[in-house]
Structure 1
Amino acid sequence: MKRIFSTCLLLAACYITKAQNNLQFNRVVIVKADSISNCSNGCPDTILLRTFTVSQGKVLKIESINFIPGNYYTLFLDNTPFAKTTSGLTNSFPIWLPSGTYSIYFGTYSPTSSATGQYAYLLSGIEFNVVQ
């Protein structure tokens, strides 16, 4: 009797609990860019600017961002320094983004920096529908 009661209680608890049942897989998202720059004077403040949108009713879980920084060193995700190779700035994954428009690019804090070099990044993530 005690065993039947415990089993029923466990099943009821599992039925009532809804941990992450409000997220439903939608698609895999990849944002990538690469370029070689020969600019050594009067270079732009940003290189490889790309924008991407997380639609209304969705969230994006960024699993990883791999990059080759050229001479600009800093990769920005929506105007926030994401990674800097010379300072040891680290980021932990995953990164969750709610619906909205975001930008990713290489940038510099010094407008006199040379942009000569190879640049590339690959952002990979999973987009989920938010189910109410």
Structure 2
Amino acid sequence: MLAFLFLLNGCESDQAVVWRTDSVSPGGEYTVHAETVQQSGPGNAWISTTVTLRQLGQKAGVHILDLSHDLLPRPPGSAVDITWAGPRHLVLVWAPGSEVGFQAGKAIEVDIDAMPRRQE
């Protein structure tokens, strides 16, 4: 029984937020939140970034971008650059080597341009 408890404890997941940022739109009507989470463990390690858009006064946000960074040798320092090109125009630029799982083109009346960052 004791061996089983040690084995069960060894299978526990280990997640950590390794990067996060927020950006408020000009005029303050919208907030974008991006967060990169790293999971480690035997056979289930991954790194992913989720970006959400929230309108002022709303509790819940809307997912607008999901990225996987599993092919990168280490977590990206800044997984997504967030720029407001206008009050309702958002530009998202992500780290090279990231794989897009989901990408929205428009959400909550905000136009979204999303593209990979140019490699230098």
Q: TM-score, normalised by structure 2?
A: 0.29
- Indicate the structure whose relative CO is greater, using CA pairs within 8 Å and at least 6 residues apart: 1
Q: TM-score, normalised by structure 1?
A: 0.27
